[in-house]
Amino acid sequence: CDALQYAHARGLVHRDIKPANLFLENSGGVRLLDFGMVRMASSALTRAGETVGTLNYMAPEQIRGETCTPATDVFAAGIVFYRLSTNQHPFSVGKKSLPEILSAILFEAPAAWEGLAPLGAPEGLEFVIRRALEKDPRKRWQSAGELRQALSLCRFTLEHAPAAEPPPAPADLEKTKVVRRTPAAPVSAPRPEPAPARPAVRPQPAPQARFCPSCTHANSPDA
C-alpha cells in the first residue's frame, strides 16, 4: 500500500497488481515490481477500449477497457489481500474457467467470507477488503493510503485483542459409544400383608428336683 500510494502521488497507475509482482524480502519488507504496464494520468498512450493487465486481477472498469485510476489498483490489491486472508481468489470459488471468473468480477459479490477466513481474523477485516472490491470505483477506498490506514486498524485489533478460544471439538460420530442404563425394577403383583405375629410363649423350665447327696429321695420343693 505504501508503494502504491507513492506511485499514485506521482500520477502513476500500476494496472498489474498481483502476487507475482510482489517480492518479499528476507527482512520482511515487500517490494512492488514490474511497472511495465504503468499508465500516467496525463498520458493517452492507452487507447480507449484496450484492456491491459492480468485478467483475473483486473477491476471491472479495467476489464471494460475504461480509464484506470488509483481505485483500479485498490481493487487488485483487495484481491491480493483476500487471497492472503483466505487462500482463495474472491471470484474463482466454485468456478473453473476464466470467462466465469471475469463474469463474477463484473457482476457477482466476492465469495462468502465465513468458513474461509482463518480463526482469530481481526474484527473489520472482511469489511475493509470487501470495500476495496466494490464494483463501483467511487465506493472503494479512494487511495492506497486509505486502504493502508484501514488495514493498520485491523492489525492493531489483532495485536491487542484477547486470544480467540478454539471452537469445541466436534463429536466423533464414528466411534461406538456405550451407554449404561440402570435396569428398571420389575413390576410384581402386590404381596398379601402378613398376619399379625402372635406373642411368643416362652416355655417354662421343668422343675428340677434336688437330691440329697446321702440318699436318692427327692427333697421337697421348699427344703
What is d(CA 165, CA 159) in angstroms, rounded to the nearest whole number? 15
Asked whether the beta carbons of 82 and 155 are under 8 A apart, the reply is no
136 catalytic per annotation? no
Phi-psi region of 31 (alpha: psi -120 to 50; beta: other; left: phi over 0): beta
Is the four-CA dihedral 52, 56, 59, 65 of positive or negative sign? positive
Asked whether the beta carbons of 70 and 76 are under 8 A apart, the reply is no
Report strand pairing: 39-40 vs 22-24. unpaired
List the grid coordinates of 60: 471491472
Single out the catalytic residue among 2, 16, 73, 172. 16
Asked whether the beta carbons of 124 and 153 are under 8 A apart, the reply is yes
Supply the residues annotated as catalytic: 16
